[in-house]
Amino acid sequence: MSKYSEILTHPGSSHKDEFLACCLLIAVNEAPVFRREPTQEDLDNPNMAVVDVGGEHDASRGNFDHHQFPKDHPPTCSLSLVLMDLELYDDARKYCDWLEVAEWFDTRGPVETAAWLGVERELLAKLNSTVDLTLLRRFAGMSEIRPGEPMWEVMRWVGSDLIGYLKSLRERLNEIARSSEIWEIDHPTGRFRVLFLPRSENISEDASSGLARYASSLPEDQQVVAMVYPDRRGSGFALSRFNDHLGMDFTRIETEEDVHFAHVRGFVAKSSAVDLGRVRELLAKSWKPID
């Protein structure tokens, strides 16, 4: 629900945290963005969202700054605060792997972030995308971004897609939890587990896109090595490794009559088999002991 008629953030150089925070606010409020220093009147205006500037975090007044937090405060940026206000933060931390890195980078800087990640600082620069650099540079050069303008529309897309991803992923995970099964497959060398999502009119076509996330959330005693889910291009099933587990090598079934695709690297295969007993047999044939 729209709460703000205006969004304000600081002028000068821009960073990913306030850019993405403004994207979310645009998606929800469809309000213009102004880039200038806030006045006390701005901070007191409940109809204006003040982002990454102003020295105050008070969501009830629309103020989302983190710079006043103490040095030992857990890494939290303006994007974090807006996600919290939208009640999306917990899911974002769980399902957006990049968010924690963005929080560290914005609040701790590249040296501490690289040390936390266990990589050389130079590697961070190598991961920069020209898409990020262009959008942030263009954003930094603007004093106003109004509805209908190209930058505003791009920011609305970004915010809408992020919100849509988080909300739809939660729905897909709930759907998978209700419908999936854990198979235990017997093999002469031992037993392994597979996550199976059946084909059903009650399961949406895109449910399988959350399968790996769901598998990651399984308790230790239910960890799986592979996933089986409906093939979107046929009536059979797709078989894929989970977390690139090398015990599953689908090149071992590439010559089977009902397997019409097996990737040369062995991490995925497609089968026209609809009999679940046959699918389990293909999984057993794909298993190889790991030395």
Q: Which domains does the chain have, with CATH numbers?
A: 6-170 (no CATH), 180-286 (3.10.310)
Q: Let me know if 140 is exposed, middle or buried by CB neighbors in 10 A (0-12, 13-18, 19+).
A: middle
pLDDT, position 172: 86
pLDDT in tens, 88-105: 999 999 899 999 999 999
Contact status, residue 33 vs residue 22, Cβ threshold 8 Å: yes
What is the predicted pLDDT for the residue at 169?
87
CB neighbours of residue 201 within 10 Å: 5
pTM score, whole prediction: 0.80
Report the alpha-carbon distance of residue 142 to residue 146 in Å, rounded: 10
For residue 56, give the amino acid letter.
Answer: E
84-107 burial code (b ≥16 CB/10 A, e <16) = bbbebbebbebbbeebbbbbbbbb
pLDDT tens-digit map of 143-175: 999 999 999 999 999 999 999 999 988 888 888
> What is the per-residue pLDDT across 175-196, written as a single tens digit (0 to 9) for each?
899 999 999 998 888 889 999 9
- The tokens 């994207």 sit on which residue? 23
Q: What is the pLDDT of residues 61-87, one digit of tens each?
A: 999 999 999 999 999 999 999 999 999
112-127 per-position pLDDT tens digit: 999 999 999 999 888 8
Tell me the mean pLDDT in the region 225-249: 92
- pLDDT, residue 1, reads 56
* Residues paired with 185 in a beta bridge: 192
Q: Which of 34-43, 173-182, 243-252 has the highest mean pLDDT?
A: 34-43
Instruction: Give the chain's mean pLDDT.
Output: 93
Percent of the chain whose predicted confidence (pLDDT) is above 90 = 80
Average pLDDT over residues 38-55: 97
In this predicted structure, the answer to whether residue 205 has a pLDDT above a threshold of 70 is: no
